[in-house]
């Protein structure tokens, strides 16, 4: 058996240092529409995961939710589903390593 070196990934650190709204805008390639300080939507208000239009980004809690298909989660979940990664670990590595095109909070 080969000796495999596992890299530890701090999921909480990644979630607190990567902006969900910026990540979604980068992946979807469209601007966001902000509704006050607590919510944002994709410009066309569509859901990336279904044909519905109830997709909301909750800025204060850094979570997304679709009221049509019930898709929901944090920035790691979004990358996992949108980029079709193998698992949440791979999604976290993509975020940590800057492969999505968004920067960490300073």
Secondary structure of 81-99 in HEC code, one letter for each residue: HHCCCCCHHHHHHHHHCCC
Instruction: Pick the closest to residue 103 from 15, 40, 22, 34 (CA basis).
Output: 22
Predicted confidence (pLDDT) per residue in 43-80, tens digit: 888 999 999 888 999 999 999 999 999 999 999 999 99
Give pTM, 2 decimals: 0.86
Q: Taking a C-beta distance cutoff of 8 angstroms, is the pair 41, 20 a contact? A: no
What's the rounded Cα separation, in Å, for the pair 62 and 75?
7
Q: Which CATH number fits domain 11-96: 3.40.1160.10, 1.10.1370.30, 3.10.310.10, 3.90.580.10?
A: 3.90.580.10
């Amino acid at each position: 058996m080969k000796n495999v070196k596992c890299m530890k990934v701090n999921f909480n650190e990644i979630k607190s240092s990567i902006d969900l709204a910026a990540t979604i805008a980068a992946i979807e390639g469209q601007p966001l529409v902000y509704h006050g300080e607590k919510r944002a939507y994709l410009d066309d208000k569509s859901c990336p995961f279904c044909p519905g239009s109830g997709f909301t980004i909750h800025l204060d809690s850094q979570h997304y939710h679709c009221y049509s298909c019930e898709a929901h989660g944090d920035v790691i979940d979004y990358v996992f589903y949108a980029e079709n990664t193998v698992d949440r670990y791979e999604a976290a590595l993509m975020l940590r390593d800057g492969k999505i095109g968004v920067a960490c909070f300073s």
